[in-house]
Amino acid sequence: MTTIVEEVLLLAYSEDEGKQLVGSLQLDAALGGALLAELAINDRIDLSGKKVTVKDTTPLGDPELDATLARIAEDKERKPDRWVYKLYSNKLRKRLLTGLAERGVLGEEHRKILGIFPSSRYPERDPRIEQAVRERVQNVLNGAEPDERVAVLIAILHAAKIDRKAFPEAGKERIKEIAEGDWVGDAVAKTIASINAAIIAGGAAAAGAAS
């Protein structure tokens, strides 16, 4: 059984070459949102008004989910997009990729571009895992009624613009119909926008200081 965060990660990488289909900004925000989604579906967290609240602190047995749940429980109540922002980390992505590689789902290849710049790829080793995820998503995109897990997964993929890369033939209206109004997808989209704004502002400040 894969978690939503692992499913997002598998769909965000090309099967053969193991390359990211979207930028790290979008992907890392999506992974943070997927952690929240999994906790919500397992009835560990909920929205009280517009903020994330803890309903049950019982561990789920997954180190990433349990660490996230403990972190939320120990902190003050925050809006979903603030939690996605706080969970945003390339270290999370690397831990998840390494975990999938250790389970034989992905391969792990390290190389240097031009003999200098380190680069890692994660080609598929056991295609059955991703195929099962793709079938569930594709059935819904083709018109089947989505369950909660698939609906949330599609909303996250849409917010991070992974949907059009992973499912290029999918209809835009169908994706929008499923994703619209999902609080996790909204939180991911807001986080990406805020990080983009911070990057632009930082670049402008640096340019101003240099002039």
CATH of residue 70's domain is 1.10.3630.10
Are the C-beta atoms of 80 and 189 separated by less than 8 Å? no
Identify the band that residue 205 occupies on the pLDDT scale cut at 50, 70 and 90: low
Instruction: Give me 75's structure tokens.
Output: 């902190």
Residue 112 buriedness (CB in 10 A; 0-12 / 13-18 / 19+)? exposed
Angle, in degrees to the nearest 10, between helices 183-210 and 24-41? 150
Report pLDDT for 186: 84
> Which helix (H) or strand (E) covers residue 165, if one does?
helix 163-166
| Domain interval for residue 119 | 4-210
Q: What's the pLDDT tens digit per position in 38-81? A: 999 999 998 766 889 999 999 999 999 999 999 999 999 998 98
Q: What is the pLDDT of residue 55?
A: 95
* Domains: count for the chain: 1
Residue 31: which pLDDT band, with cuts at 50, 70 and 90?
Answer: very high
| 102-131: pLDDT as tens digits | 999 999 887 776 666 677 889 999 999 999
The residue among 85 and 57 whose pLDDT is bigger is 57
Return the higher-pLDDT residue of 113 and 191.
191
| Integer Cα distance of 92 and 89 in angstroms | 5
The confidence score (pLDDT) of residue 1 equals 77
Range with the poorest average pLDDT among 123-127, 147-151, 203-207: 203-207
pTM above 0.75, yes or no: yes
Q: What is the DSSP secondary structure assignment for residue 188, as one 8-state letter? A: H
